[in-house]
């Protein structure tokens, strides 16, 4: 078990994050509670910039789908990273947070006309075109609006990343992007160059997420550099920008051995340099789009233990006040997590239990088989590494309100997303006149 970021165990034997006792966090803000360690997020941003930007002039773009809200956009802007958005909603949030539009990249495999129009109105830096339908649509919209869209084309390089199949995207059989090996990618570049309202700036790929094997990134970069050579030969232009996507894997449980960000940078930049030398190419501007690795280890979810069910000789279920609604990843990807009893964090483990949620579903499990001190009702459980794709994938199943998110730093905690109230859950419900209490029921004859 590993402590992350600014975590420590304090004099009371409690887990502390950002200088704030997690037992106090639970008392002051309630549970379930997402806790984000601001110093850790900023530290990782700086590590990325040092590895990619300082040495190689690369642009680091935070993939906001991992964790996004107004405060997070501000942190990313302050750290000098750019932003990847994939929907009108993410774009709207970024704009409301006054994130500079020129540093926004707009992704997605089925962007709607109104989303593209919005992106053009705000003058986002780049629109990453995914398919021929979008290419024509964007060209038409830009023409109508009298602007020229600066675009990257998303390509599928045919590189298999070693990760869960639901989060693999580089293989040929993928819904994303123009396929490289069958020639579709080159066809797309040529079409793009003929369209008057699109300005072709470069190419993009993303091979998958939670990738540990740096050779996959190295391989993808080489394939993309080959494409750049082919584009020079077949279309006569030097590609200016190469966006290599995100996907850098992080630690979740013992045995996970992520590479360092410096090793990641080395894998990518050495591939680019090698291919530049081999084919005498211009060095394109490199971009990467980390999401999970910026926020994953900075996030912890706090829960309160309620019921405990022991089936002798089989299993002990420890139920907490959240579950798959605030963290669907175990149910979706068999994702695994580590946890501690936050109010007795220094005590040795004495039993193996399974942590379940409060949703009406047997698949609502957070952790199967974890060794913990004797767990009692009322204990606070802290599940680690929940910063990425937890809050953003949370849901209201069973009409559970989404938990609050607090940002902790240096002994202070600020709510950056409020807990959803019962009223919030009803906000979009509408009751037609005929269903209102007291209305006469008309029987259909």
List residues binding ligand LLP (CB under 6 A): 63, 66, 84, 107, 167, 206, 209-210, 245-248, 289-293, 329, 333, 389, 393
Q: Is 360 a catalytic residue?
A: yes
Q: Cα–Cα distance between 371 and 74 in angstroms, integer?
A: 38
| Cα–Cα separations (whole angstroms), residue 387 to 9, 15, 33, 102 | 20, 17, 11, 26
| Cα–Cα separations (whole angstroms), residue 71 to 67, 408, 409, 411 | 10, 12, 13, 18
Q: What sign does the dihedral 156-159-162-165 (CA atoms) show?
A: positive
What is the closest distance, in whole angstroms, from the C-beta atom of residue 89 to ligand LLP in the complex? Answer: 16
Q: Cα–Cα distance between 172 and 439 in angstroms, integer?
A: 58
What is the closest distance, in whole angstroms, from the C-beta atom of residue 297 to ligand LLP in the complex? Answer: 12
Interstrand relation of 149-156 and 198-204 (parallel, antiparallel or unpaired): parallel
Considering the candidates 192, 205, 359, 360, report the single residue annotated as catalytic.
360
Q: Decide if 200 contacts 162 (C-beta within 8 A).
A: no
Interstrand relation of 315-320 and 299-311 (parallel, antiparallel or unpaired): antiparallel
Q: Cα–Cα distance between 263 and 269 in angstroms, integer?
A: 10
Could you give the count of Cα atoms lying within 13 Å of 26 in the half-sphere of its Cβ?
Answer: 23
Nearest to ligand LLP of 14, 329 (CB atom) = 329
Nearest to ligand LLP of 12, 259 (CB atom) = 259
Q: Which of 301, 270, 297, 302 is nearest to 286 (CA)?
A: 270
Q: Decide if 7 contacts 285 (C-beta within 8 A).
A: no
Task: Return the active site residues.
Answer: 360
């Amino acid at each position: 078990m590993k402590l992350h970021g600014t975590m420590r165990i304090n004099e009371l034997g409690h887990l502390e994050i950002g200088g704030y006792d997690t037992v106090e966090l639970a008392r002051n803000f309630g549970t379930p509670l997402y806790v984000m360690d601001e110093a850790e997020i900023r530290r990782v941003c700086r590590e990325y910039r040092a590895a990619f930007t300082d040495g190689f002039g690369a642009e680091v773009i935070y993939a906001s789908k991992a964790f996004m809200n107004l405060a997070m956009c501000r942190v990313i802007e302050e750290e000098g990273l750019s932003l990847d958005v994939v929907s009108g909603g993410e774009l709207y949030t970024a704009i409301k947070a006054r994130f500079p539009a020129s540093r926004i990249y707009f992704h997605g495999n089925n962007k709607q006309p109104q989303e593209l129009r919005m992106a053009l109105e705000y003058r986002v830096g780049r629109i990453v075109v995914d398919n021929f339908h979008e290419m024509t649509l964007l060209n038409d919209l830009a023409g109508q609006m009298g602007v020229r869209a600066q675009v990257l084309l998303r390509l599928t390089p045919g590189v298999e990343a070693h990760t869960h199949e639901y989060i693999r995207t580089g293989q040929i059989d993928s819904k994303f992007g123009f396929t490289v090996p069958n020639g579709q990618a080159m066809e797309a570049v040529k079409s793009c160059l003929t369209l008057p309202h699109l300005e072709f700036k470069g190419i993009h790929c993303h091979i998958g997420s939670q990738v540990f094997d740096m050779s996959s990134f190295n391989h993808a970069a080489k394939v993309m550099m080959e494409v750049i050579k082919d584009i020079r030969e077949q279309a006569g232009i030097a590609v200016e920008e190469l966006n290599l996507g995100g996907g850098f894997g992080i630690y979740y449980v013992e045995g996970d051995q992520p590479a360092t960000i410096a090793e990641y940078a080395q894998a990518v930049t050495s591939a680019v340099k090698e291919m530049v030398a081999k084919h005498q190419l211009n060095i394109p501007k490199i971009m990467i789009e980390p999401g999970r690795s910026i926020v994953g280890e900075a996030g912890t979810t706090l829960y309160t233990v309620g019921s405990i069910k022991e089936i002798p000789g089989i299993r002990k279920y420890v139920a907490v006040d959240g579950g798959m609604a605030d963290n669907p990843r175990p149910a979706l990807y068999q994702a695994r997590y580590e946890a501690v009893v936050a109010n007795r964090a220094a005590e040795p483990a004495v039993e193996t239990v399974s942590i379940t949620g409060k949703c009406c579903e047997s698949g609502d499990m957070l952790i199967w088989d974890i060794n913990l001190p004797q767990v009692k009702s009322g204990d606070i459980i802290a599940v680690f590494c929940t910063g990425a794709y937890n809050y953003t994938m949370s849901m209201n199943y069973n009409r559970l309100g989404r938990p609050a998110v607090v940002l902790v730093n240096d002994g202070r905690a600020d709510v950056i997303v409020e807990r959803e109230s019962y009223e919030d859950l009803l906000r979009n419900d509408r009751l037609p006149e005929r269903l209102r209490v007291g209305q006469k029921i008309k029987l259909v004859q």
